[in-house]
Homo-oligomer: A and B are copies of this chain.
Amino acid sequence: MPGSTYGKCFKITTWGESHGKAIGVVIDGCPAGLTLCEEDIQIFLDRRKPGQNKYSTPRKEADQVDILSGIFEGKTTGTPISCIVYNKTARSQDYSQIASYYRPGHADYTFDAKYGFRDYRGGGRTSGRETIGRVAAGAIASKILNELGIRLCAYTRAIGPVEITHLDLDEIPKNPLYMPDFQAAEQAQKYLDEKLAEHNSAGGIIECCITGLFPGIGEPVFDKLDARLAQAILSIGAVKGFEIGDGFHAARLSGSENNDSFYADNGQIKKRTNHSGGVLGGLSDGSPIIFRAAVKPTPSIARNQQTVSKNMENIQINIKGRHDPVIVPRAVVVVESMAALTVLDLLLENMSARMDGIKRYYQSFNELPEFSC
Contact = CB atoms under 8 A, between A and B. Distances in A.
A326 to B, nearest CB: 9
Interface stretch (A53-61, A104-112, A168-176): A104-112
B5 A1 contact: no
Nearest to A357: B361
The bracket for how many chain A residues form the interface is 35 or more
Given A3-B222, A15-B26, A250-B203, A33 B115 contact: yes
Contacts of A72: 17, 117-119, 121, 124
Contact of A77 (B69, B125, B277, B307): B125
Interface string A288-307: 10000011111111010111
A28 B124 CA distance: 16
Interface in A232-266: 232-235, 237, 240-264
Given A2-B219, A9-B1, A15-B70, A312 B369 contact: yes
Contact of A215 (B110, B118, B308, B350): B110
B115 A32 contact: yes
Nearest to A231: B231
Interface in A105-146: 105-107, 109-111, 113-119, 121, 124-126, 130, 144
Given A230-B231, A264-B313, A2 B28 contact: yes
Which has the most chain B C-beta neighbours within 10 Å: A105, A161, A262? A262
Interface in A7-36: 8-11, 13-17, 20-24, 26, 28-29, 31-34
A315 to B, nearest CB: 9
The count of identical subunits is 4
A368 B357 CA distance: 13
B372 A268 contact: yes
Contacts of A115: 32-33, 77-78, 216, 353-354
A330 interface: no
A82 B16 contact: yes
Contacts of A250: 203, 240-241, 294, 296-297
A92 to B, nearest CB: 11
Contact of A241 (B147, B244, B298): B244
Given A308-B263, A357-B361, A350 B1 contact: yes
Contacts of A273: 373
